[in-house]
């Protein structure tokens, strides 16, 4: 009885003495650490989480407010992704930004975040026309989108062909899904203006068996193959390309088809394969020393540290950095440290991460400088080309950032956004 009273008293005392919950900046992670796409999902989620942990541990959060990063496992499954969104949007003082790392989930969340007023950042994936901020108020896809990627891949192929693609043949090997089909329209437009022939070669999920597709490529001998793949499809495609002895330097993947796990299983055969990328690969930046000291050595890393410096890990870090900078901007604009989702959107629409700012936070040249406006939610659209060195087992950037054909991309995005607005009775807002 005495013990029971003591416990009760302790509980009451604890309740009385409890301070109100600390304000937090809630950045939920809709991650996938299980399932067929886990090898890609894990390093991205680790990079995202570790950067946020670094900001908490090193800087005491953003403007003195700590960041919380509740994770919800989606398994790259769209339905689970929506469930995760619903279950995390009310966490703490409310979610401020979502980064689902899935085009399928992004498509499903667009109407939901618009209704709930929570920013969605589908960084270089998702619905391309979401770059039009007048129609997609709550959706952002900076620093680049798939249509940017398509024009950059074409530009690189053109540079390799002496500035002329007339009469050339380009095959697009793509994941037969909303994601994989994204670049088709842009490539069709480019085929008309550049005079190349476009071959479309879809691959069904998961892409474990691609013999038919590569026999077709072998027969038709395209000059270049572009790939919009994800997961095991990438490794199998690169293996099949090596098997048929397709010249690997003429095989160019989008940024989601160019991570270590896509090329390592192929061994030496993957040597020379290229992909687009928009983030730094490696650990030779000051921020990594901080991550080692404040996150890894402190035992607070999301993973075991083996992914640090890889393509997807660094991309996750870059996404987290952009979220942190947007929150910082929102605090600056509103003059308050505890911001709402609407404030966060303001921060994102005024985001201006310059090269100098990246150098200041220990990430010089980590990715393209990002400048976002109310009308342009898509950033600059620039990306570089990297090439795999199989003997050194590393990616090497072989170009500087290549500018996207933004005239074409913007034109197509405006058309698509206008169609979306008409279908959904949206009146585009004025961005003055």
Minimal distance in Å, beta carbon 154 to other proteins? Answer: 21
Distances in Å between the Cα of 169 and the Cα atoms of 61, 158, 409 are: 51, 12, 22
| Structure tokens, 386 | 């990297």
Q: Which is nearer to other proteins, 272 or 428 (CB)?
A: 272
Token pair 């980590």 in the structure block, residue: 366
DSSP symbols for 185-222: HHHHHHHHHH--EEEEEEE-SS-S--HHHHHHHHHH--
Q: Which of 51, 173, 31, 201 is nearest to 99 (CA)?
A: 31
Q: Which is nearer to other proteins, 188 or 204 (CB)?
A: 204
Minimal distance in Å, beta carbon 70 to other proteins? Answer: 19
Minimal distance in Å, beta carbon 308 to other proteins? Answer: 13
Pairing of strands 274-277, 384-389: antiparallel
Q: Which is nearer to other proteins, 232 or 323 (CB)?
A: 232
Q: Which is nearer to other proteins, 240 or 325 (CB)?
A: 240
Residue 112 is given by DSSP the state: H
Minimal distance in Å, beta carbon 303 to other proteins? Answer: 9
Q: Which is nearer to other proteins, 239 or 271 (CB)?
A: 239
Token pair 């798939």 in the structure block, residue: 146
- In terms of Cβ atoms closer than 10 Å to its own Cβ (0-12, 13-18, 19+), residue 162 is exposed
| Structure tokens, 333 | 């604009």
Taking the C-alpha atoms of residue 408 and residue 396, their distance in angstroms, rounded to an integer, is 29
Q: Which is nearer to other proteins, 233 or 353 (CB)?
A: 233
Minimal distance in Å, beta carbon 75 to other proteins? Answer: 10
Taking the C-alpha atoms of residue 326 and residue 324, their distance in angstroms, rounded to an integer, is 5
Minimal distance in Å, beta carbon 408 to other proteins? Answer: 24
Minimal distance in Å, beta carbon 208 to other proteins? Answer: 6
Q: Which is nearer to other proteins, 195 or 267 (CB)?
A: 267
| Structure tokens, 309 | 């410096």
Binding site for other proteins (CB under 8 A): 33-36, 38-39, 42, 176, 200-204, 206, 208-209, 211-213, 215-216, 218-219, 221, 231-232, 235-236, 239, 242-245, 261, 264-267, 269, 299, 304, 306
């Amino acid at each position: 009885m005495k013990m029971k009273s003591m416990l009760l008293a302790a509980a009451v005392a604890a309740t009385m003495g409890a301070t109100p919950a600390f304000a937090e900046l809630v950045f939920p992670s809709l991650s996938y650490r299980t399932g067929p796409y886990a090898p890609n999902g894990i390093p991205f989620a680790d990079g995202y989480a570790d950067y946020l942990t670094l900001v908490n541990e090193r800087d005491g959060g953003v403007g003195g407010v700590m960041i919380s990063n509740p994770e919800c496992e989606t398994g790259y499954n769209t339905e689970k992704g929506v469930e995760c969104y619903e279950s995390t949007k009310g966490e703490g003082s409310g979610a401020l930004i979502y980064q689902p790392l899935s085009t399928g989930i992004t498509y499903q969340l667009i109407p939901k975040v618009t209704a709930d007023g929570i920013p969605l950042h589908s960084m270089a994936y998702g619905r391309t026309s979401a770059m039009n901020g007048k129609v997609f108020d709550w959706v952002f896809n900076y620093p680049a989108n798939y249509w940017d990627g398509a024009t950059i891949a074409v530009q690189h192929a053109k540079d390799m062909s002496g500035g002329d693609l007339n009469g050339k043949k380009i095959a697009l090997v793509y994941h037969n899904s909303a994601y994989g089909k994204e670049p088709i329209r842009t490539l069709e437009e480019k085929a008309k203006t550049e005079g190349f022939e476009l071959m479309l070669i879809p691959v069904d999920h998961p892409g474990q068996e691609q013999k038919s597709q590569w026999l077709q490529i072998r027969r038709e001998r395209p000059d270049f193959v572009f790939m919009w793949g994800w997961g095991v499809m990438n490794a199998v495609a690169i293996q099949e390309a090596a098997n048929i002895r397709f010249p690997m330097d003429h095989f160019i993947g989008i940024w989601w088809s160019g991570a270590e796990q896509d090329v390592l299983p192929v061994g030496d055969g993957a040597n020379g394969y290229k992909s687009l990328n928009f983030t730094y690969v490696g650990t030779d930046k000051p921020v990594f020393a901080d991550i080692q000291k404040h996150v890894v050595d402190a035992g607070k890393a999301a993973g075991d540290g083996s992914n640090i410096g890889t393509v997807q890990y660094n991309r996750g870090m870059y996404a987290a950095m952009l979220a942190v900078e947007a929150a910082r901007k929102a605090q600056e604009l509103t003059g308050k440290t505890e911001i709402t989702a609407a404030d966060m959107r303001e921060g994102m629409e005024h985001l201006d991460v310059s090269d100098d700012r990246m150098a200041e936070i220990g990430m010089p040249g980590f990715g393209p400088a990002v400048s976002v406006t109310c009308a342009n939610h898509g950033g600059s659209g620039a990306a570089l080309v990297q090439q795999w060195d199989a003997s050194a087992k590393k990616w090497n950037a072989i170009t500087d950032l290549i500018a996207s054909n933004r005239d074409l991309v913007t034109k197509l995005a405006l058309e698509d956004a206008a169609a979306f607005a008409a279908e959904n009775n949206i009146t585009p807002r004025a961005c003055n």
